[in-house]
Structure 1
Amino acid sequence: MKKVITVTLGSSKKDFEFKTRFLGQEFSVQRLGADRDSSKAWELMRRQQANADAIALSDTVDHYHVGLRTVVNKESQRLMQVVTRVPVTTGASLRRLLQVRAVRHVQKELGHYFNNNLVLFLSGMRNYDMAVALSEYTRNLSFADPVFHAGSPLLLTSLEQLEIYAKGKELIPDIVPGEFLKSVLKTVKNKIVANAVARSHVIVGTFREIQAVAAGGNLEGKTLITSAIDDEALAFFTKHKVNLVVDVSPKLFDRVVGISTITAMILASMDKPESEVSDHDFEEIINELDIKPRLLHPTGHFRNIRRFAFVVHPLSQEYIKKGFPLPKGTPKFIMDKVETLAAYMPPMVYCKMSNIVSPSGAEAEGWLISVGGTPKEMLSHSPEFTYRRLLHAAKIAEGLGAQIMGLGAFTKVVGDAGITVARRASIPITTGNSYSASGALWAAADAMRRMGLVKVDKDSKKVPAKTMVIGATGSIGSVSARLLAMAFDEVVIAGRDMKKLNELRDSILQDTPDAKVISSTDYDSLLGEMDMIVTSTSGAGKKILDITRVKPGCVITDVARPLDLPPSEVAKRPDVLVIESGEIELPTPVKGMKSIGLPKNVIYACLAETIVLALEGRFEVFTIGRDTEWEKVKEIYKLGIKHGMKLAAISGVKGVYTDEDIAKVVSLAKKARLTWKGSSSGSTAKAPVKKAPVKKAPVKKAPVKKAAKKAPAKAVVAPKKPVSKQAPAKKSAGRTIVKKKTAA
């Protein structure tokens, strides 16, 4: 029978002895505590080597390998040198391998768990290899070595700083961690570590180190990476509401033993000193024993909280007034100056959102980060001006621990629509346009269903209605056009560049050969035929369409921010339903969120995309550029359903539309259609006006002016798409209408 003795500087009250079978051999394992007395530990090791096949030394300062440098602890060296007859170890080699394996295991099993986490090492030199492994997933590493070793008020914040510190380590006297921690706790400087623990997501250290810095609930919700956690330690973590404990020491026996003990057992079984056992040998044994870290949940409920950030900005001077203490009557020339100055302000955290819980159990929290530029100011500068502010926001988000960042409103329109920012930012970026397109069509479909003016034949594959997408070559517009072409009889794609429109039309016909698609740069004459219109432009205040020419009962979904249709325009047509894209309702009551101009617990679809990706653990560049993939639109829609996202009540410029509001629009639309001749003939529409207070007032019909005849539009019929013999398709239709250009 092999005999392994572990000498520890810990308490002798926890001493034990047990017998077990390990690597095909019988073992007797004994623990002897020295009660923080290094002289007693030295004597125990000297005497017990005569009775042991291997000796383990634990709970002491180990030798470190930091970068290319090895730091030798003189006290540990003195204790180990007394053992000359049998192998002796601190378990450093096996510990290093198990630490790295633990990081890889958790990252894989819990889905990108460490991505951009704020990680605090209570001893970076002891855990250097783990720090290197974690640096692959996050740059937010900090090290408390200078505080614990020298009483410094500063933490190290990079691996490079840790390596430089290790070079000067021999100038600082070695102190046993427990004694030093006890003395540091009596000083003000220790508050630095306690505060760092509170700010961090992950803390790495021994149980005694973690126990010493626990204060004021700073361990609540944290992830701890440590080793050899017994029932007493687990009870302590439960009391402090720790979320997850990653124990790198495997529990191979009924009793918990440290890595140094397991290493000594391996050396005894091989009859070799540690210097003759390679990392490869240890790896083979780890694989043979199928050693994995223990994932412990002290509270009994594991919370996998993912983090996001989202960029917002003021859409107009009115938004600036809401955010700053400016008098309502501030003259416009002063507000113009304020608007200009606001664009140069550095990004700042607007608020933190929390308690976003998916039905799947996943949780998310995040920050809204504000940049000061309005769309007007962004357009007046080069794209690089906005890029730099967005990259600054991304840097702030990274420092907060956000794992993905979304671009809101006009920030996703500027320049190349997120491509440059995604390439230069250190965390994944998404514009949210996939969910914006999904939400817009989701809301439009719901609105049309509630209005009931378009009758859908259940046997028909397509809705018998005409639709138009204004700003069709943009990111949201193009994917909206693709999806509408699959579902509606006819789609008009409208914009400013006929070449791009025709390219989009041809691409749509390749995907949907039986679609009827019309390209137009002068689309006012077609407005009167449309049952649904989606506006998704970057007009920023320009007039996009003449609402007086729109068909009564038409549903207009305004996806643009700022809105393409201001309240003054919407008021002209009470017989037309204008909705502000499709907002999303969160699955649980959100905490900490400040107003973004929407009802409580309702958010923009682009923000919802960022949150859904966070809940799913998809920390990737999802939607950027102007060519949004409709496959991603479908995917984000399904993921949204999975995580409990719901279409919010459809709303317009005056707020949420009730059933009564929609019924009123339908009633006015039906009456207006009695005299409606369509905008193609040049007529304009006026909704019937009721004379108060009579319920059924006679309607005054506005005289219809006879419109001057227009020259017939030049139409170019797109060439038919060749049809495969194996899969005959329906005849496709595509037209190009070229007229005088209007702003879109």
Structure 2
Amino acid sequence: MKHILSVSLGSSKRDHAFETEFMGEKFHIERIGTDGDFARAIKLIEENDGKVDAFGMGGIDLYVYIAGKRYTIRDAKRLVAAAKKTPMVDGSGLKNTLERRCILEIQEKGIVDLKGKKVLMVCAVDRFGMAEAFEQVGAKLTLGDFIYTVGIPIPMHSLKTLRLVGSIAAPIIVKLPFDKIYPTGNKQNDIIPKYSKYYYRADVIAGDFHYIRRYLPEKLNGQVIITNTTTREDMKLLKERGISKVITTTPDMGGRSFGTNVIEALMITLMKKPLDQIAPEDYHAMLKELDLKPGIVDLERWDA
């Protein structure tokens, strides 16, 4: 049985494990949160290096992509360095493929008509492919990168602006301590409604779930959320706060959706190729073969 281990800087309250089968292979998939403790995360990686088939890096990205250029997050290098035998991925290889494909599928299959809809992306630089897909289907974007990552209430409304500003800001931001720009550990359990008017104005709220959750207003009015990792507890919270539907870019696995880092770790194990030899075309081919579908939960009919 193949073993996928996602070592996350996120809250240990979100830990989960289950067994499944993909393409004739049996997998044990496990997520362990370290509550923002880098030392503990590194120790976990070192203890399991060479014993598991692939690591997922959760709660932090290794790279940020803006308009085709890649920026490496300094703190993430510490985790990658601990994995000397087992390949480690952060999900970035999939974000530009799986998440872009998900948005196009939502539009093409009529799951939600995104054309003309007001879409708030809480942070677009870590999901540039998703942002481009929203623009492609005719959504009206509000990009909250400044608002929700560094606390500057300046919305952007075009990817052209994000490309320009991002190319200037990204080299500086990726050198900051990661917990200054992203909720890690127990901070993921806190909800601090902030700049709520952008949530209220949106028809769709999209992007990283921890950003969405951290600034979630007390009561919304039927918005749709398109995001990544969610648990049953998250669904209960979102229903209580007035969300009508949740669409996850990864499918339900054992009662929750996992992050792109887990799906990418699963895929590279199936590919059986060295990590440095895997190209975007390999991800596209694997996605087509696996035929992964978005997870869709209608909260108006959902019963916890």
Question: For the superposition of Structure 1 and Structure 2, which TM-score range results when normalised by the shorter chain?
Answer: 0.7 to 0.9
Structure 1 segment 684-723 matched on structure 2, within 5 A: none
Shift of 1:254: 5.7
Partner of 2:76: 76
Partner of 2:172: 171
Shift of 1:206: 2.4
**CA deviation profile, 1:651-678 (whole Å, cap 9, x unmatched):** xxxxxxxxxxxxxxxxxxxxxxxxxxxx
Is residue 11–residue 34 contact of structure 1 (8 Å, CA) maintained in 2? yes
Which of structure 1's runs of 4+ aligned residues deviate more than 4 A? 179-183, 252-255
Is residue 121–residue 144 contact of structure 1 (8 Å, CA) maintained in 2? yes
Partner of 1:217: 219
**CA deviation profile, 1:203-230 (whole Å, cap 9, x unmatched):** 1122221111111413x21111101222
Q: Which has the larger radius of gyration?
A: 1
Partner of 1:200: 202
Count of aligned positions? 296
Long gaps (5+) in structure 1 = 302-744
Shift of 1:180: 11
Shift of 1:279: 2.2
Aligned AA (2:183)? G
Higher RCO structure, 1 or 2 (CA under 8 Å, sep 6+): 2
Question: In percent, how many aligned pairs have the same letter?
Answer: 24
Is residue 148–residue 180 contact of structure 1 (8 Å, CA) maintained in 2? no
C-alpha distance in structure 2 between counterparts of 1:88 and 1:186, whole Å? 30
**CA deviation profile, 1:686-741 (whole Å, cap 9, x unmatched):** xxxxxxxxxxxxxxxxxxxxxxxxxxxxxxxxxxxxxxxxxxxxxxxxxxxxxxxx
SS at match of 2:293: coil
Q: 1:96 to 1:174 in 2, by over 3 A?
A: farther
Is residue 95–residue 259 contact of structure 1 (8 Å, CA) maintained in 2? yes
Is residue 146–residue 154 contact of structure 1 (8 Å, CA) maintained in 2? yes
Shift of 1:39: 2.0
Instruction: Tell me whether 1:277 sits opposite 2:278 in the alignment.
Output: yes
Partner of 1:107: 107
Is residue 230–residue 256 contact of structure 2 (8 Å, CA) maintained in 1? no
C-alpha distance in structure 2 between counterparts of 1:186 and 1:206, whole Å? 14
Is residue 102–residue 246 contact of structure 1 (8 Å, CA) maintained in 2? no
Shift of 1:255: 5.5
Is residue 88–residue 273 contact of structure 1 (8 Å, CA) maintained in 2? no
C-alpha distance in structure 1 between counterparts of 2:202 and 2:130, whole Å? 17
Aligned AA (2:7)? V
Structure 1 segment 244-643 matched on structure 2, within 5 A: 244-253=245-254, 256-300=257-301
C-alpha distance in structure 2 between counterparts of 1:21 and 1:181, whole Å? 32
Q: 1:297 to 1:139 in 2, by over 3 A?
A: closer
CA RMSD between the two structures: 2.6
C-alpha distance in structure 2 between counterparts of 1:56 and 1:236, whole Å? 26
C-alpha distance in structure 1 between counterparts of 2:183 and 2:48, whole Å? 25
SS at match of 2:149: helix
Is residue 3–residue 29 contact of structure 1 (8 Å, CA) maintained in 2? yes
Q: 1:50 to 1:179 in 2, by over 3 A?
A: closer
Q: 1:227 to 1:68 in 2, by over 3 A?
A: closer
Q: 1:157 to 1:12 in 2, by over 3 A?
A: same
C-alpha distance in structure 1 between counterparts of 2:164 and 2:250, whole Å? 29
- TM-score (norm. length: structure 2): 0.88
Is residue 34–residue 185 contact of structure 2 (8 Å, CA) maintained in 1? no
Partner of 2:237: 236
Aligned AA (2:113)? Y
Aligned AA (1:287)? K
Q: 1:186 to 1:110 in 2, by over 3 A?
A: closer
**CA deviation profile, 1:248-299 (whole Å, cap 9, x unmatched):** 0122556643221121122223333433222222222222222111121111
Partner of 1:152: 152
Is residue 7–residue 34 contact of structure 1 (8 Å, CA) maintained in 2? yes
- TM-score (norm. length: structure 1): 0.38
SS at match of 1:178: coil
SS at match of 1:5: strand
Shift of 1:157: 1.8
Q: 1:242 to 1:215 in 2, by over 3 A?
A: same
Partner of 1:18: 18
SS at match of 1:295: strand
Aligned AA (2:132)? V
Shift of 1:120: 1.0
C-alpha distance in structure 1 between counterparts of 2:29 and 2:268, whole Å? 13
Aligned AA (1:225)? I
**CA deviation profile, 1:395-430 (whole Å, cap 9, x unmatched):** xxxxxxxxxxxxxxxxxxxxxxxxxxxxxxxxxxxx
**CA deviation profile, 1:131-164 (whole Å, cap 9, x unmatched):** 1111123362121111233321212221111112
Is residue 35–residue 185 contact of structure 2 (8 Å, CA) maintained in 1? no
Is residue 121–residue 143 contact of structure 2 (8 Å, CA) maintained in 1? yes
Partner of 2:39: 39
**CA deviation profile, 1:22-47 (whole Å, cap 9, x unmatched):** 22222222222111212211221122
C-alpha distance in structure 2 between counterparts of 1:4 and 1:102, whole Å? 23
Is residue 247–residue 295 contact of structure 1 (8 Å, CA) maintained in 2? yes
C-alpha distance in structure 1 between counterparts of 2:108 and 2:249, whole Å? 15
Is residue 62–residue 126 contact of structure 1 (8 Å, CA) maintained in 2? no
C-alpha distance in structure 1 between counterparts of 2:263 and 2:299, whole Å? 25
SS at match of 1:151: coil
Shift of 1:58: 1.0
**CA deviation profile, 1:553-579 (whole Å, cap 9, x unmatched):** xxxxxxxxxxxxxxxxxxxxxxxxxxx
SS at match of 1:237: helix
